[in-house]
Chain A
Amino acid sequence: MTTAYETVIGLEVHCQLLTKSKLFCGCPSSYGAEPNSQVCPVCLGLPGALPVPNKRAVGMAIRAALALGCTVRERSVFARKNYFYPDMSTNYQISQFELPLNEGGGLEIEVGSRTRMIEIERIHMEEDAAKNLHGIGSGTATLVDFNRGGTPLIEIVGKPDLRSGEEAESYLKRMRELLMFCGVTDGNLEEGSFRCDANVSVRPHGQSELTTRAELKNINSFRFVRKAIEYEAARQWAVVTSGGAVVQETRTWLEGQEKTVSMRTKEEAMDYRYFPDPDLPPLVVDREEITAAAADVPELPVAKRARYVAELGLTSADAVVMTGHPQTAAYFEEVCAGLIRVSDLAPSKAGKRAANFIQTEIMRHIRVEGLNAEIAVSANDVVALLALVVASTISGKQAKVVLAEMVESGKGPQAIVDEKGLAQVSDSGELLKIIETVVAEFSSQAESYRGGKTGLLGFFVGKVMQATSGSANPRVVNELLRKTLGGDS
């Protein structure tokens, strides 16, 4: 869609790190506990309490930054961002200001068939705020749950390189999958572990100067990212073309009404009076820590997909499905490796077969929860099942039946095949006898076939399969039928 204006978007992603404890105290940072049950003097901001940095959180932040191609500062500083609000127990947030942990880097996005690199300004660490629950009781009270307060966050500030709602959506999807594959977040938008604010402005095509921007908050689903941004861009352009000026303000997207509304103007914007937090010495990261973090950066989704296509015989579409979740990819790779080993298949054949089977038969048996997934059948068992198909012991169709039984009973494929006597009959001698019987029984159809109605082959295949309760090897049946029926075929 081309518009009369150019939309300029810079995204700020706040991502909770999957540490066991909070950034500055030992409280658990898991979601869903009873309100105010995961708190202590530090995260409650009690008098006399002091913050102490969580080393694992720093390691994860570095891992994420390296995955995004950022440089890591060996000496960064925690700073206090001072403002009064009930979700900050100390009325300041410990963040990083002048000297953030990471800078530079970028993320590749894809829209249609075009890919582009979006640059990253910086990534810094900060603590999350507590949760305000508005409208309690008669509707005027707000309750505060401090469980979330102090959870480690990384804030990823992207440069205003994005030019459309579509691009923004791709950026967020790719950012989320990269961070999930790195194991630093569970990417849960509903629970708020992955959040996004969008800075949106519009300008005439060809202008390089940036114009006044509005900040969109409360974008917590991919569905609405594109809509909200497109709406806001159009709104701003309408303001500009009707002679008005865009106000620098914070707006929120109202899902029900599909529009953005103003939350507060930046005129009321705070002077945060940033200064280095005197309770925390500068964060010094040595070469060893960076090397250790780099070792924790896994093969990233874009690279994985490229490899699946190049080496494992998948189409791009297949590759996207197989990398839909880190556990899916791991499962797929395990099945592939197993198939290659057990059935001596070429990698591209193994990949194609594994992907097909997983997509059609296994996906519905995968239950995802955060970064974990429960898959009803083990990769080993799937390998064994597919190996039976490759060896023609059973047909692809039979494999589906066996799988259903595997899920139900938990038994392995060989056991089920044996129990049900499903092993395909491929012995020509045996099959020939059955075929001759069938052909004799349906002699008029055989006549028609020989007379030129070659489509009747399928009829005979069906009858043979019936006679063998589906266990005949269809390929062999086909061959033998043609020979037996003869005719011009």
Chain B
Amino acid sequence: MSYALQSVEALASQLSSFELTARQLTEYFLERIERLDGELGAFLCVDRDGAIRQADIVDSRRKAGEPLGLLAGIPVAVKDNICTQGLATTCASQILDGYIPPYDATVVERLRGAGAVILGKLNMDEFAMGSSNENSSYRSVANPWNVEFSPGGSSGGAAAAVAAGLCVVALGSDTGGSVRQPGSFCGVTAIKPTYGRVSRYGLVAFASSLDQVGPLAKNVRDAAVVLKEIAGVDERDATCVQSASEDYLAEFGVNVSGLRVGVLRTALNESCHPDMLRVFEESQVRLQNLGCELVDVELPHLRYGVAAYYLVAPAEASSNLARFDGMRYGKRVAADDLAETYARTRDEGFGAEVKRRIMLGTYALSAGYYDAYYLKAQRVRTLIRQDYARVFERCDVVLSPTAPGPAFRLGAKIGDPLSMYVEDAFALPPSLAGLPAISTPAGLSSDGLPLGVQLTGPALSEGRLIATADALEHARAARDFAPGYFEECP
């Protein structure tokens, strides 16, 4: 089987038995990126020399007899809003074009510490604002399943790279569905951890009370390996959950029989693509066959999710993005005075969607409007949290579609921001409530495009969600892979 199709554990086994070197594996993926990424645009920057150097170091450590973990020598890629020391980090924005951070994000530090090889930085919607990866100031990303379609966003580059086998696993970020929805569109597994489970230090902030770094992988085991490495308390992030990471791998093989699965019934389901509803049904049947107990559940305030999110997130973003002013780093457009310099720099540096959200957020926070908008939206979050609390009295995990349908064509929604926002209707509520959620590939549409279902659990229940996703993945007859990228799947 091609390396591009193999799991982390399979590759790790070959690396530790010296059947394969980290350098060989790294060069393998670098060659694939070179050959295949041209039409996808998943990578904004490939660090060939750095990657080879990292691989060589792992190889010598292994030769020297050092005990190494599962991720040692495994080629990974990182979304371009996660700081990598010495490697450009642009958030796909012109305002950070060429910006090179002097420090690593905590998650990058931890991956490097585990010996992972960082191949490069992944394309995304600018500042993580978008659901189609068409808001990148460099170029859009294409879905490997059909290059005329969107890979989803904002971690479109990450999902596409994993789906096309350009890296083994990827790190994305999720604020309102940004790892899960692209995961669903590209047929890969994506985890958004409990808010605070993974350190945000070094993740360029979009909406501070919602952002989380999350792994994308071909299967949930691989994602769990990464999550185990990156999760856990970090004293540099005051919003971190104050506990160590867990051994998520220990959850595998756990019998899910008897698990109570809440099947989310909402009015939204009516507007779902029929293939999504079919796949949703099929997932329920699979879980039932595994011995799970299904109960219907409702989240009465779910319908306010989009509105609440599109007030809270832009509000926080308007403040978080204020630092991009051309004074200390990034792009500066020189002008006659200070105010003009700020205005020109930000006007030329930011794309349309970013500007739209900054204006929306500034408005929502302004005097006279704060109570009606920002404060109100925060209260809706409390109501949604309460909805989930009630639901979790009756079930252990909630099953729902990840997105209303499969990937849409590039260009189809970019002219209508509101229709784009509705793409996140299922993904937003767990974000607003700070709960962990996993999107797992559940089937294909009649056009051959992937569809994912979402599992949501109570805070810090990643272990149980991972076990459930694992059981679901194994219950599917065959694994789907993007056609044309793997020998085994022409």
Contacts and interface: CB of A to CB of B under 8 A. Distances in A.
Interface of A: 41, 44-53, 80, 82, 84, 86, 89-92, 144, 271, 273-275, 278-281
A49 B91 contact: no
Nearest to A52: B238
Nearest to B205: A48
15 contacts: A45-B323, A46-B102, A46-B103, A47-B99, A47-B323, A48-B105, A49-B202, A52-B237, A84-B325, A86-B327, A91-B322, A92-B319, A273-B365, A275-B365, A279-B208
Could you say which of B89, B102, B238, B328 has the most chain A C-beta atoms within 10 Å of its C-beta? B238
Given A48-B89, A273-B367, A281-B238, 7 more contacts: A46-B329, A47-B99, A48-B205, A50-B237, A52-B236, A86-B338, A92-B322
Nearest to A85: B338
Contacts of B362: 273
A280 B238 contact: yes
Contact of B201 (A50, A271, A280): A50
A49 B320 CA distance: 11
B105 A275 contact: no
Contact of B235 (A48, A52, A275, A280): A52
Contacts of B342: 84
9 tightest Cβ-Cβ pairs between the two chains A and B: A91-B322, A278-B208, A273-B365, A278-B209, A47-B204, A48-B202, A271-B367, A48-B83, A45-B323
A47 B238 contact: no
B239 interface: yes
A145 to B, nearest CB: 12
A305 B354 CA distance: 61
Interface string B234-252: 0111110000000000000
B322 A90 contact: yes
B239 A275 contact: no
A207 B365 CA distance: 37
Contact of B236 (A50, A80, A144): A50
Nearest to B320: A90
B316 interface: yes
Interface of B: 82-83, 89, 91, 96, 99, 101-103, 105, 200-205, 207-209, 235-239, 315-316, 318-319, 322-325, 327-329, 338, 342, 362, 365-367, 370, 374
Given A84-B342, A89-B323, A273-B362, A46 B238 contact: no
A84 B96 CA distance: 18
B328 A47 contact: no
Given A45-B328, A271-B367, A50 B200 contact: yes
A89 B322 contact: no
B327 A82 contact: no
A84 B208 CA distance: 20
A477 B327 CA distance: 81
A300 to B, nearest CB: 34
Contacts of A47: 83, 89, 91, 96, 99, 101, 204-205, 323-324, 329
Contacts of A91: 322-323, 325
Contacts of A45: 323, 328
Contacts of A280: 238-239
B342 to A, nearest CB: 6
A65 B338 CA distance: 38
B322 A84 contact: yes
Could you say which of A51, A273, A279 has the most chain B C-beta atoms within 10 Å of its C-beta? A273
Could you say which of B235, B237, B327, B370 has the most chain A C-beta atoms within 10 Å of its C-beta? B327
A275 B329 CA distance: 26
B101 A48 contact: yes
A280 B105 CA distance: 18
Could you say which of A84, A89, A90 has the most chain B C-beta atoms within 10 Å of its C-beta? A84
A163 B9 CA distance: 77
Given A46-B102, A47-B83, A82 B322 contact: yes
A49 B201 contact: yes
Could you say which of A45, A46, A47, A86 has the most chain B C-beta atoms within 10 Å of its C-beta? A47
A380 B204 CA distance: 59
A275 B374 contact: yes
Given A48-B204, A86-B338, A271 B366 contact: yes
B327 A144 contact: yes
A82 B238 CA distance: 21
Contacts of A92: 319, 322
A280 B205 CA distance: 14
A48 B211 CA distance: 11
A367 B374 CA distance: 55
Nearest to B207: A278
Nearest to B337: A140
B101 A46 contact: yes
A41 B235 CA distance: 15
Could you say which of A80, A271, A278, A279 has the most chain B C-beta atoms within 10 Å of its C-beta? A278
Contacts of A279: 205, 208, 238-239
A48 B322 contact: no
Could you say which of B91, B207, B235, B239 has the most chain A C-beta atoms within 10 Å of its C-beta? B239
B371 to A, nearest CB: 11
Nearest to A279: B208
Contact of A53 (B102, B238, B370): B238
Nearest to A42: B236
A273 B201 CA distance: 25
A148 to B, nearest CB: 15
Contacts of A84: 322, 325, 342
A46 B202 CA distance: 9
A311 B215 CA distance: 72
Nearest to A280: B238
Contacts of A89: 323, 328
B370 A275 contact: yes
A275 B82 CA distance: 25
Nearest to B211: A278
A379 B68 CA distance: 63
Contacts of B319: 80, 82, 92, 273, 275
A274 B319 CA distance: 10
Contacts of B202: 48-49
A49 B91 CA distance: 15
Nearest to B339: A84
B480 to A, nearest CB: 35
B102 A275 contact: no
Nearest to A84: B342
A51 B237 CA distance: 7
Could you say which of A48, A90, A91, A144 has the most chain B C-beta atoms within 10 Å of its C-beta? A48
A89 B366 CA distance: 21
A439 B207 CA distance: 99
Nearest to A51: B238
B329 A273 contact: no
A45 B328 CA distance: 9
Nearest to A272: B367
B390 to A, nearest CB: 25
Contact of A90 (B201, B316, B323, B367): B323
A82 B328 CA distance: 18
Contact of A44 (B91, B201, B328, B370): B328
B97 to A, nearest CB: 13
A162 to B, nearest CB: 29
B101 A275 contact: no
A74 B201 CA distance: 27
A41 B89 CA distance: 14
B187 to A, nearest CB: 30
A103 B202 CA distance: 36
A93 to B, nearest CB: 11
B327 A275 contact: no
B329 to A, nearest CB: 7
